[in-house]
Every structure is written in C-alpha cells, then in structure tokens.
Structure 1
Amino acid sequence: MPASPTIGSSCASSPEAATLPSRTHWNVREGACSLPSRRFQYLREGNPACPRPDARYNKGARPVTQGGDEMSLFAVLGLLAAAASAEEWKAPPIQLPKPLKHPVIAATPEELGRLRAALKATGPAHDAVARVVKQADEALSKPLAFPPRGGQHNQWYQCDKCQLALKTIDDTHHECPRCKTVYSGEPYDDVVYEHQHYAIIRGASNAAWAYALTGERRYADHAAKVLLGYAERYLRYPYHANTRNNLAWKIVSGGHLFEQTLNEAASLSCDLAPSYDLIHDALSQTDRAAIRDGLLVPMLKNMDKHKAGKGNWQTWHNAGMLAGGAVLGDLAWVEKAIAQPHNGFIEQMKVSVSDEGMWYENSWGYHFYTLHAMTLIAEYARRLGIDLWSHPTLRKMYTLPVHYTMADGSLPRWGDDVHASARGAGWLTEYAYAATKDPDLLPLLPQAPYWQSVMLGRDPSTKAEPPILTSRVFRSAGHAILRTRGEAGLTAAFTFGPYGGYHGHFDKLSFVFFGHREELGVDPGRAASQAYRLPIHRNWYKPTLSHNAVLVDKQPQRPACGKLELFVANHEYAAVAASCDEAYPGVCHKRLLVLTPTYLLVVDQLTSDKPRRFDWVYHNRGTTIECDAVKEPGKVPDKFVGLEYVQDIKTGATASPIRAAFAGKTVTTHLTMAGAEETEVLIGDGPCASILDRVPMAVITRHGTQTAFAAVLEPVPIGRRPAVRAVELTGAVVTVHRGDATDQATLSLANELDVTTGGKAVLVTPR
C-alpha cells in the first residue's frame, strides 16, 4: 500500500450517508426523462421566436482569458447581496390587459411593425424575416396528413441489442445501423409520428406568422386547419406515456398528442398558443370555440394534473399554462403559472437555481432547455404587462454560462448533456438583453440580423468587447473553473457541488480538461441518441466509471455533495481542492487540482474505515493510448459496473512510475503518475457520443485503508516532446521534474497550499 500524503481533510463519516437509498434505487427509471436532442432542435426551429442558432455561434469568437484571484471579500459580499436581492424581490400584480387584444403574447404591435418593415425592405434583416414566409409557403405546398396517433419519445428509437439509434427506412420500418435488425410497429413507428406532428405544428406556426406579417388569408387558413385538425383529434388520440411498465408514471405524466405533459406543454407554449394568438381575429367564433374546447383547454388540464414541483417539467408546464391561459383570456391559468405554491415560476426561482444562476440539474443542456421555458414565461408576461424580467436570479441564468467557457468554446459536458456553448444560446439571450439592457449580455449576441434582433429592435452591428474570463469558483453551484495563460491556453472545470437529480451523474470531484483549443479530458455526458431507458445509460453514462473520478470497490458513487476546501488563482497558476465523504460510506476522498501554464496536476488522498479497492480513472480524446505498464490483454475484473462497455483492454502491474500517452491528431496528452507498490493498470476505450464514438481511457488501481494518487496531465502538440520527466509523492509534497526545472506543490492539513517553481513561490493561499 502506498504512503498517503497528509493533504489534510475535513472529511468525517457522514451520518446522512447511511440513510441514502441504495444505488439500485437510483437507477434510471424507464421513461422518466426530458427533451430529446432532436425535439430541442425542433423547438428552436419550429417557431421563429425559437430558431436554431447559427452553427457559428456555437464556437464563435472566444472571450478573452486571464488569470484570477481567490474570491475577494467584495466578491463574497456581492454574492450575498445578490442572494438577498432575490429574497427581497416582490412579485408584480398578475392581471390581464383590458380589453384583451390579439396577439397578446406572440408580439406587441411595435414588434410586428418592425418585422413587417423588414419584410418590405431589402438586405439581411429582410432575409431573416422572409425566411419564415418561405417556410410557410413550403408548408402550404404539402398535403396535410395527420398521423394516426400521438408521438412517442426518442428513447425508444434504439436497437435494444446494439444500443444504437435506429435509421428510418420509412414510416413503419426502422433499421439498426450495426446488426441490420428492422423494427416495426409501436413504439418505433410512433417516434416517426412524433416528428411528423412537430413538422405539421411547425408549418402552422410559420403560416400564422406569415399571416401576421402579410395579411394574406391563405396563411391563416392553413394554420386554422392544423389547429382545428388537432382539436378534432386530441382527445381521440389514445392516452399514452413514455413508459410501458410504470403505470403510476403513465397516469400522471402522459398525454394524447405527445407522450409527456412536458412536451405537450412545450408545444403549447412555443407554437400552438402563439399560432392561435396570431390568427385569432381571422377565426370565426365557432372555430375559436372548437380550438379552445377541443385542444387548448384539454392540453392545459392534462398538464395541470401533473404537479411536478422542482424541475424542468414544471417549468415547461408553467410556460404552457401562461401561454394557453393568456390567449384564452383566463387569468387563473396565468396565476398558476407564476405564483402557484410549490410549482409556479416564483417557486422555481427559489428552489431550482443556484445563487450564481446555475440550474440545479448540473447539466448545461438542461440549464438552457429550462431557460428556454423561463424566457417564454418572462417574455409572454412582459407582453401582458407583468414584469418577471426584474427577478435577479433569472438574469443571472443568462450571464453565468460564459464564465464556464472552455478552451474550444464549449461548456463542460456535465450530466445529461451533449454539447452546449454560451454563444449557442444567443437567441434566448436576445430577449433578456431587450428586457434588461444588461451590457454583459451584449457580447453573447449574434452580430448579423436574425428574427429576434429584428423583432426586438437591436442593431446587431453594435460592437461589444468579449468578457475577460478568469479562474473562478462558484460555491453554490459547486464548480471551479481554472485558467492559465500560455501557449496551450489550458482550462479545467471541477465539480464538487450538489447531486443534480435525475439528469445529474455520479461524478463528484470529477473534472474535464481542455487545451490547445481542444477537448482533452472527457466527460461523455449522455448518449447523443438519448438512450435513457437502455442499460448503457444507467451502467455507463450516469455511473462513475465514465468520468474522470475515483471509484471505490468497483461500484458507482452514491448521490453526494462535496465540500470546497480551497481555491486560489493568479494569472499564471490556479488551484482548487474539495473533499467528499458522502459518495462512499466510510470513505473520505480529497482531490487537489493545480493548473500551470503547461500541465494539470491531480492529487488524490483516500482514507477508509476498512480495506478497499480504489480505481483512479481518466478519459482523454485521442486515437490511441500507449502505456509502458501494460502488456497483452489480461484478466478483467468481474462485477465492475460499466466495464462491459470498455473495449481493447490491456492490463499490467507495476510499482514504478506510470507513463501513458493519449495520441490525438494534433495533440498528445501525456500522463505521468507517481509510482507505488502493488499498482494495477488497465487501458482501453469507452463510449462517448455513442457506443461507436470511442475515447481512450486509463484505470489505475490501488488497495488498502488509505492510498494516494499524484498525476500530471501534459498536452503537447504533435512533433514535440513532453517536458515532464517524473512525478514524486512524499508525504504532503508533490514534486514534478520538468526539463531542468523542479516544481513542488505542498498542501497542509489546514488547507494551506504552496506551489513553487525552481524554489520560487508562484501560487500561495492567503495566510
């Protein structure tokens, strides 16, 4: 057993840990999931108010990066003041305009005027608006054919054997790209029907906007035909849910048009209610009553039966209730959406968002997904004369993400996420900027005209300097972002905060690593096909093995929260340490990250109440992994959750220092770990976006009641040699031999950190 460094820890056995449910209770339940990526794309594309952001904004001009300092007294006071202002925020009066003039939520007269003026003009603004009219023309040119029943969740569109997304041959034949099995019938056909429903509703939305801009009756007639068609069919479509076996969940969460109250609410708020709003005055009294009684009210009642409480589901329910209630002139639904105890917008702001503005599910995908609903709620309320934009917590949800931007322009892929960026949400931020004129939002907005900028009256040619990004710690959310200057532009993101619930992962004290404008250390997020119901989600994506973390006894962590021990940074160096004693009862884990201009140092100390197996895991983008400690394929540990998804396994054992190289196309990341007796090494590759998208990984194993790991991750461009020669761990001191220089990091029991280079202090915690 290796000696353990005395990098002191405040960990103690948690009395709450023993009362947590067993891990099996936290397995993903069938069907309890949210928006598939393709459905989110629809929500952005279907309504001109929710377009898909241009790809260039996903990886646009990067903010300027500088170092940071440990959170100052002023920063702490500012955070406390912001929290206090959120507590002191007073809800505005909730009322509807009198008289109620349509459109009431889709746009104001001034906004419609801007869109109409752009349509009559020439240039980029005209093109942005005319694109919607063109899409409406395309919808009118196609025959209108409603699917025979409601749609089904994308999670069912998978091959159960290969755990891969299916390929559509036609409406009733769906093929696995690997084993070539062809699936037919329910639920596979119903996933295709779901996308057909979205296309029909998208066409109706575009037609309603085209009518509002041109006054041409044919557009209103098409939108009315769709709304009346669904009013006739909604209650006739069989009630169904995203589950086959969970009857209780089906009763509360299902729908008729779609399989979840969640996406029925999203469709109502994004498209159906605004479409009705835009063509209201072109409808006869009979048609209005038919749409109200056959579609809008039944959808509202269906989602209202599901009191979801804290979470993205209820936030979308609130958006649906506000939109539906407003266009019907029913104040009760609007009041529910905003002020209902335990469920309304006001409650979500209190319980679902961190002090800094991060959505609690610890996933940027779900942060923006929920922020989409929040944006609709605030914007529709504004058009009703109800000011929700003044809520300080809501504003922070827009300004926070940019501070997490990694070296490649993306955000850390934590929890159930695939890919997100702060600039990719510019279309949401446009509404926040229009309402608040917050200058911090301006650099995140597109610099070419598009629907939102035209409608809301912003001149996109206005220049704004990108924010200067520094190393920062977000104590409430439980994240630290480390940045250093230098050619490599290294960034690392560390998560130690509360468990994110259903869409969170068992990833406490894990990290991701970026450099040379590339993703290096990988968190896989979730499968791109959103395979929530399949074993690969509950046995690979969600558990600990797929993260850059430490496992105990080959098992995933329990839901847990860590504790921040220190954070300190300057322009050249940054460090964070946190501990956790909830993930594994009887085990205390403390992890220190030190980011330098050329490498990331990772130091782990683990202590236990009995002998344990500890597995240090790291995943890095690359084409191959080479390690001097492994030989040929060896014996693979049994009963190791998730290891069944690891391929090309090789194993070995050593007491010497460990060196491994993750070779990529332009960068090779070199791993150097201090040696210790009786160390086992396993290398292979695991899934990322899918089971076919492979990422090299290393697992380094040690045993005992206490152990330690000290490793350096050094990314080097192809053609160059790594500078780090060796890493040594002696007590509380980690020594890194780098070329002719020697770096040392010392962490005391009192969490006092000293980092030196050539004997000169370069990073020191305040004493």
Structure 2
Amino acid sequence: PRILYNQSEIEAWKKDPQKTKEIEKIIKQADSIISEPLYVPDKEGDWIFYYFCPKDNAMLKPVDNEKHICPVCKKVYCDERTIAAYRTVINNKLDKDAVTVASAFAFTGEEKYANRVKEYLLKLAQLYPLFQRHDRWGRKGIFAVVGGRRYAQNLDEAVSAISLANAYDLIANAKCLSFEEKQTIEELLKNIVREILKYEVFHGGKNNHQTWFNAAYAVVGVATGDSELIKESIYGKYGLLWQIENSVTSDGLWYEGTIAYHFYALEAIQYTLDAVKVIGWDFSKNEKLKSMWLGPINMAYPDGKFPVFHDSDPVELKNYQKFYLWAYKYFGDKLFARYAGIQIPDVKNVELKSTNLSGIGVAVLRKGKNNNEICAMVDYGIHGDSHGHPDKLNIVLFANGKEFLLDPGRISYSVPEYNTWCRTTVAHNTVVIDEKDQQPATGKLLFFDDKHDYSACLVSVDSAYPGYILKRFLVLTEKFLVDAFVVSGKEKAKIDWIIHCRGNIAESSQNIAVDYLGNKNGYQHLKNVKKLLSISEPVIYEINQQDKKIKIYFLNNSDSSIFTGSGIGYHLKDEVPFLMRKKISESAVFITVYEFMCDSDIQSINILPVFEKNKKLQETEAIALKISFSEKTIELGFDFREKVSKLETSGKTFERFFFNIKQ
C-alpha cells in the first residue's frame, strides 16, 4: 500500500500502544461489516439531498428498500426519486465500508477482509458499464453532462473513486487477488475517472467539483500506476496548479466565498498532494497553495467561529484542526501546529487585525482587546459563482462575545427555504429595492483606514440593482459601530434596509400587528410583523442575548416606516428577529449606530450638514455626525462620493473621512 497508509506507517501503527485502540476499532467495524451479506444496488442513485424530508430537513429512515419515513413528521415516501437517493446512501456506505475493511486487512493480513473488498470491487466492475448516465434534474445520456453513472453527479463519482482506489491499494498484494482480477479492478477505477475527465469541461474548471476530480485522477493514477492521470491531476487544463492560480484569491480564500466550500476544496487538495507525494512530487514551497490554510484565520470572529457567508454553515476554526495538522506536517510551519491544537513554545496565533481581503472582497474591521473584542465585516466583492448569494454590502457583527448580526448561510439544500429564503436579498443585512433580489454583482472598496481609535471602510456596488448605486460606510470603535447606508437612483422605488439580530428585541409598546410585508422573494418568510406607530429621532432598540446586549439607534427616520418581526436563522426552527426600515424614494440615507456597552453611555446623536465651498451637499453625497457621551464627544465626517475633495463641517475640513474626539 502507498496511498492511505504505506507499509512503514502500518508497521509503526502496530508497534504504537497509543494506536492499539484505533486499530481494534477498525477491526471491530470490519468484522461487523463482513458479518452481513454484501448487497450492491444494481440501479443508479440520485442526489443525496433528495433523501431528506423537505418539511423538516430530517434524513429519512428506510422501512425497506421501497418505503422511507421522516422520523419527525412521519410522512412516508415511496417515489422513485427517494428510492434512488436511498441507493446513493447505500453506495456511500459501501464505499466507506470498503476502506474500513481494506484497512483491517492491512493491519491484520487476514484474507477474509481482502476477499470482501475484492467481491465488492468486482461486482462494481460488472455493474458500472450498465449504469445509464443521468443527473439530479432527470436528464439522461449525453444530456446529463454534469451527471454521473452510479451517482447523479460527477462530484460523487470522484469522491467514490478516491475511496475505491484507497481500498484497492490496501488489498492489492492480497493472495486472494489474481492478476486478471487486479486488471479488472484497475480498469473499473480508470473507467470511472475517464468518464469524469470526458465531461469535466462542462463544470467550468474553477469550482470545488474540479478539485475533487483532480484528487480522483491523482489517487486512481497512483493506485493503478497510470502516469497520465497523475499528470492530469496537477498539470492538466484544470489541474491543481491551474486551480491554485484561478480559484484561490490573493487572500488565500476559495473564490466561492464560503468557509464550508473552502475546506471542502482543501480536503480534496490534501488528497491530491498526498497521492502525488508518493511519487516524489512536492509542492510545499508554493506560497499561494500554503495561503489556503492562512486565509480562513483572517475571516474568523474573535471566538474562532466564522460568519456564515453564502452557501456555508455555522462552523469554527477548531473544527478544522485536522487540516492544520496536515498542513503542519506538509509545510513544516509551526504556526499551523497552533491551529492544530499543538502547543509549541514561542509560537503564537496570528494577531487578528482590521484588514481588507481584497481578493474575495470582504472588509474586516476589528477593535478591542481580551474579552472585549469586536468585529464587523462587510461583503462587497465577487459573487461566488453558483454558491454565492444576492447579498452585496451585507454585514455581520460580533460584539460582547456574541454574534449579533448574522447571515443565515444555506440551512440545507434539501429544503425549499434554501431557494426561497437563503438565496434572497431580504435574508441578509443589506438593502432591498422594490422587494426584488439583487442581481449577481461585484462591488468595490472606495476607502479603508485602520487607526488606534477606529477602523473604517467605504464600499460600493452599482450593478446589484440597475439604475441604483449602493454605498455603505462603516466606522468601528471599541464602544460603537456607525453604519451609513446610501442608496442613489433616479426613479422612485421601495427601499428596504434590513438587519437580522440574534437575541430578543425589547420592543416599543407603540406597535401594531401587520399581516405580512410581501409574498415572494423571501418576504413570505418574515413573520410576526409589527409596525412602529410613532417614529422619533432617534428610534432606539435594545437587543438582548442572554446577559449581553447592544443598543441600536436609527437616525434620519423622516418619511420612514419601521418594522420588527422574525425571519429564519441557521436552521428552520431558528427564529431570528429582524429590524426593517422602509422608504419610498429615489434615494435614501440610513444612519445606524450600534452601541456595545452594557450600560449605555451615548447621550445624544446629531446629524450635521457638510459643505463644499460654502455649498451644502446632499445627504447622499456627505454627512457628519456628532455623538455625545457623558465625558466626551466624537465627531465624524463622511464623504460618500467617488471623487473626493475638501469638505467642511462644524469648522472642520476633511477629505473622505474624519474622526475627532473632544474630551
């Protein structure tokens, strides 16, 4: 064996007392597997997410091969799509079991384990040519260009091929395998990846599917001694080196903009690198490759958790310790050991600072120390391809040890709400125009500054809504965040500013229930809606999250309607409050101040005019704020325009931005 383990590693494991229990566990699992008769489905499988109840997002349970039940709502599914998805569940388990049983052979040398794996692989060799190419949308044959044979997509075929090749590699020297049987199995493995290679062009080459295709080429190539497949995995048209240059941003982040898919792609890359290392190919000096383990660190909140941008899930850095252990061994960088949970003297974690991740297009603002670390992020950059969401200028906020403003991520591909909520603009902390979703867009950074007292940025996008320019200016201090959102257009429209807040909203008694805010584009999921009857300046809300809280000040509220209610968070039963401001106008300026102190210290907030050569500018061009505290006053000036010039407010002259503290 050379891939999953080599012989020297196997012998070292057998001699290591700390590995004894792990080996015993593998053998016990293998014994349980081979005690059952081998059943291999002789029909094609379908997409795994079709084996979930769309109402409850619960994985179904088989009553038998033809009947499946939701463990939550008890609905029974007998349709062909569900049955085919169950075949995929079985196939996934068979592939995983093959690796377990083959590992038991590697550690014991007992032929009974190798015999079971051989039986499985030879059975697949018989069935594979009989499977019809198909995809999860029902297309068949040559029309299913992104589909598969045994599985419904090439991605699953690639993941399967890696497991099958690893299993074969572990039993290749078993006495029970004849030369002809080896040839048959190797031809099976090659046929699977040749089929993938034939259709890979239809996937575009850039996304995470291709990363797994490359891993399959590498692992199967090494397992079967096929040098052309190995070369394809690294140097092919869409090989690993091409992907590193085209799919990894300058920040070391996967271009799809989601932490979940960053590490999913990284897992495949590790398979590829492990496989080609067997033949002496080493890429540990490639700095852009190495940056893929550094990039996510800069995206983490102070507590190590990640914002759930785009098609991602709520995860944290420590969930990926095994990735950093792999990186430590491969690159030899002691920094990675820290994130693998290994304490090394004189090696510290990366110091997290405010930064503009220009490649992916996320501005990260950080302030505070120790237990008072605060972080705000705004997503202004690349859309993220098929895993991106219509959410330009979406923000998230971490303060007082908690995430207060959140992005729902993807919830699950198996529920309708993935499309009707997660992939809508109103599900995010941004602006919606005419209750429609943004178009896929890429924004830009106009300003970024990080000083002792503040971190600030100005971002803009002009293609999310044709005819409208959106701009967002953020200023973060240890005590508060100023959020100025500007919408500029030529035609009157409904402009909705919305945030989704983790915690409980201390609501005004002057609210009236509203039936609904809309019936499509995500608005149908906004529930428990109430409208504020009396609007003051400012309107103040308090968000309580256990023993932590923040205060939110709405300013510039003339001609606005303000609503509260609840939307969907990280899962279907996760009810998250929202705050929405509505205006009907050609343009709007929404000013919000988030105060982090448990005991409020803000006494007043005033909006001040800004002048250029004694001419007062419109609020969509520039504004100033005066925030008064009990012992000091902070003055801020904002120039929202593309081209800056000298401006004046309250006797202060500035360009783009100023921040002044008066004791």
- Give the drift of 1:726: 4.3
- In the alignment, the residues of structure 2 paired with residue 362 and residue 629 of structure 1 have an alpha-carbon distance, to the nearest angstrom, of 41
Per the alignment, residue 620 of structure 2 pairs with none
**Against the structure 1 CA distance between its residues 202 and 387, is the aligned structure 2 distance closer, same or farther, given a 3 Å change threshold?**
same
Which residue, out of 114, 123, 129, partners 2:12? 114
**Against the structure 1 CA distance between its residues 314 and 462, is the aligned structure 2 distance closer, same or farther, given a 3 Å change threshold?**
same
- Give the drift of 1:443: 0.8
- Give the drift of 1:572: 5.0
Per the alignment, residue 478 of structure 1 pairs with 361
Which residue, out of 518, 538, 543, partners 2:424? 543
Which residue, out of 482, 488, 498, partners 2:372? 488
Conservation of the 8 A alpha-carbon contact between 1:399 and 1:440? no
Per the alignment, residue 649 of structure 2 pairs with none
- Give the drift of 1:214: 2.8
- What does residue range 388-403 of structure 1 map to in structure 2 within 5 Å? 388-403=283-298
Per the alignment, residue 299 of structure 2 pairs with 404
Conservation of the 8 A alpha-carbon contact between 1:163 and 1:536? no
User: 1:100-121, CA deviations, whole angstroms, 9 ceiling, x for partnerless residues?
Assistant: xxx2433344433432332xxx
- In the alignment, the residues of structure 2 paired with residue 463 and residue 280 of structure 1 have an alpha-carbon distance, to the nearest angstrom, of 45
Which residue, out of 625, 640, 659, partners 1:755? 659
- Give the drift of 1:715: 4.3
Per the alignment, residue 467 of structure 1 pairs with 350
**Against the structure 1 CA distance between its residues 739 and 238, is the aligned structure 2 distance closer, same or farther, given a 3 Å change threshold?**
farther
- What does residue range 247-396 of structure 1 map to in structure 2 within 5 Å? 251-269=144-162, 271-282=163-174, 283-293=177-187, 295-307=188-200, 308=203, 309-341=205-237, 343-396=238-291
Q: Secondary structure at 1:467's aligned position in 2?
A: coil
Unaligned runs of 5+ residues in structure 1 are 1-102, 448-459, 761-767
- In the alignment, the residues of structure 2 paired with residue 354 and residue 256 of structure 1 have an alpha-carbon distance, to the nearest angstrom, of 33
- In the alignment, the residues of structure 1 paired with residue 345 and residue 538 of structure 2 have an alpha-carbon distance, to the nearest angstrom, of 55
- In the alignment, the residues of structure 2 paired with residue 478 and residue 692 of structure 1 have an alpha-carbon distance, to the nearest angstrom, of 31
1:598 maps to a residue whose letter is: K
Per the alignment, residue 661 of structure 1 pairs with 542
Which residue, out of 682, 700, 704, partners 2:563? 682
Which residue, out of 95, 98, 101, partners 1:204? 98
Range moving further from structure 2, 478-487 or 230-239:
230-239
- Give the drift of 1:257: 2.4
Q: Secondary structure at 1:234's aligned position in 2?
A: helix
RMSD over equivalenced CA pairs, Å: 2.5
TM normalised by structure 2 equals: 0.89
Which residue, out of 71, 77, 80, partners 1:186? 80
Do residues 228 (structure 1) and 111 (structure 2) align?
no
Q: Secondary structure at 1:231's aligned position in 2?
A: helix
**Against the structure 1 CA distance between its residues 669 and 169, is the aligned structure 2 distance closer, same or farther, given a 3 Å change threshold?**
farther
Per the alignment, residue 743 of structure 1 pairs with 634
Q: Secondary structure at 1:544's aligned position in 2?
A: coil
Which residue, out of 516, 521, 525, partners 1:645? 525
Q: Secondary structure at 1:545's aligned position in 2?
A: coil
Q: Secondary structure at 1:611's aligned position in 2?
A: strand
Conservation of the 8 A alpha-carbon contact between 1:682 and 1:699? yes
2:173 maps to a residue whose letter is: D
Which residue, out of 613, 616, 627, partners 2:507? 627
Which residue, out of 575, 582, 599, partners 1:701? 582
Which residue, out of 430, 448, 473, partners 1:592? 473
Range moving further from structure 2, 271-280 or 222-231:
222-231
Conservation of the 8 A alpha-carbon contact between 1:152 and 1:258? yes
- In the alignment, the residues of structure 2 paired with residue 422 and residue 669 of structure 1 have an alpha-carbon distance, to the nearest angstrom, of 25
- In the alignment, the residues of structure 1 paired with residue 143 and residue 570 of structure 2 have an alpha-carbon distance, to the nearest angstrom, of 29
User: 1:442-498, CA deviations, whole angstroms, 9 ceiling, x for partnerless residues?
Assistant: 211134xxxxxxxxxxxx888843222222211122112222115432112221111
- What does residue range 146-161 of structure 1 map to in structure 2 within 5 Å? 146-159=40-53
- Give the drift of 1:729: 2.6
Conservation of the 8 A alpha-carbon contact between 1:551 and 1:614? yes
1:229 maps to a residue whose letter is: K
Conservation of the 8 A alpha-carbon contact between 1:108 and 1:383? no
Conservation of the 8 A alpha-carbon contact between 1:674 and 1:726? no
Conservation of the 8 A alpha-carbon contact between 2:133 and 2:144? no
Per the alignment, residue 67 of structure 1 pairs with none
**Against the structure 1 CA distance between its residues 629 and 497, is the aligned structure 2 distance closer, same or farther, given a 3 Å change threshold?**
farther
Answer 1 or 2: which has greater strand percent: 2
1:255 maps to a residue whose letter is: G
Per the alignment, residue 450 of structure 2 pairs with 569
User: 1:690-739, CA deviations, whole angstroms, 9 ceiling, x for partnerless residues?
Assistant: 322211111111232221111122346xxx54333543333321233444
Per the alignment, residue 651 of structure 2 pairs with none
- In the alignment, the residues of structure 1 paired with residue 31 and residue 453 of structure 2 have an alpha-carbon distance, to the nearest angstrom, of 56
Do residues 583 (structure 1) and 453 (structure 2) align?
no
- Give the drift of 1:512: 1.0
Per the alignment, residue 137 of structure 1 pairs with 31
1:504 maps to a residue whose letter is: G
**Against the structure 1 CA distance between its residues 627 and 335, is the aligned structure 2 distance closer, same or farther, given a 3 Å change threshold?**
same
- In the alignment, the residues of structure 1 paired with residue 484 and residue 133 of structure 2 have an alpha-carbon distance, to the nearest angstrom, of 53
- In the alignment, the residues of structure 2 paired with residue 630 and residue 111 of structure 1 have an alpha-carbon distance, to the nearest angstrom, of 70
- Give the drift of 1:353: 1.0
- What does residue range 517-556 of structure 1 map to in structure 2 within 5 Å? 517-527=401-411, 529-531=412-414, 535-556=416-437
Per the alignment, residue 722 of structure 1 pairs with 600
1:316 maps to a residue whose letter is: W
- In the alignment, the residues of structure 2 paired with residue 249 and residue 411 of structure 1 have an alpha-carbon distance, to the nearest angstrom, of 41
2:658 maps to a residue whose letter is: D
1:526 maps to a residue whose letter is: R
Conservation of the 8 A alpha-carbon contact between 2:398 and 2:404? yes
1:279 maps to a residue whose letter is: I
- Give the drift of 1:545: 0.7
Q: Secondary structure at 1:142's aligned position in 2?
A: coil
TM normalised by structure 1 equals: 0.77
User: 1:400-442, CA deviations, whole angstroms, 9 ceiling, x for partnerless residues?
Assistant: 1112211332112111011233332222232322221122212
Per the alignment, residue 219 of structure 1 pairs with 113
- In the alignment, the residues of structure 2 paired with residue 403 and residue 521 of structure 1 have an alpha-carbon distance, to the nearest angstrom, of 19
Greater relative contact order, per chain length (Cα 8 Å cut-off, separation 6+): 1
- Give the drift of 1:516: 2.9
- Give the drift of 1:291: 1.4
- In the alignment, the residues of structure 2 paired with residue 196 and residue 443 of structure 1 have an alpha-carbon distance, to the nearest angstrom, of 38
- In the alignment, the residues of structure 2 paired with residue 656 and residue 640 of structure 1 have an alpha-carbon distance, to the nearest angstrom, of 32
- In the alignment, the residues of structure 1 paired with residue 294 and residue 656 of structure 2 have an alpha-carbon distance, to the nearest angstrom, of 32
Conservation of the 8 A alpha-carbon contact between 1:710 and 1:729? no
Range moving further from structure 2, 624-633 or 613-622:
624-633
Which residue, out of 383, 395, 401, partners 1:511? 395
- Give the drift of 1:145: 2.4
- Give the drift of 1:551: 1.2
- Give the drift of 1:238: 4.5
**Against the structure 1 CA distance between its residues 478 and 404, is the aligned structure 2 distance closer, same or farther, given a 3 Å change threshold?**
same
- What does residue range 27-106 of structure 1 map to in structure 2 within 5 Å? 103-106=1-4
- Give the drift of 1:358: 0.8
2:255 maps to a residue whose letter is: Y
**Against the structure 1 CA distance between its residues 272 and 169, is the aligned structure 2 distance closer, same or farther, given a 3 Å change threshold?**
closer
- Give the drift of 1:363: 0.5
Conservation of the 8 A alpha-carbon contact between 2:69 and 2:75? yes
Q: Secondary structure at 1:355's aligned position in 2?
A: coil
Conservation of the 8 A alpha-carbon contact between 1:588 and 1:608? yes
Range moving further from structure 2, 107-116 or 366-375:
107-116
- Give the drift of 1:500: 0.3
- Give the drift of 1:523: 0.2
- In the alignment, the residues of structure 2 paired with residue 441 and residue 609 of structure 1 have an alpha-carbon distance, to the nearest angstrom, of 52
2:423 maps to a residue whose letter is: K
Aligned residues: 629
- In the alignment, the residues of structure 1 paired with residue 141 and residue 513 of structure 2 have an alpha-carbon distance, to the nearest angstrom, of 47
User: 1:383-402, CA deviations, whole angstroms, 9 ceiling, x for partnerless residues?
Assistant: 11122333222110011111
Conservation of the 8 A alpha-carbon contact between 1:365 and 1:416? yes
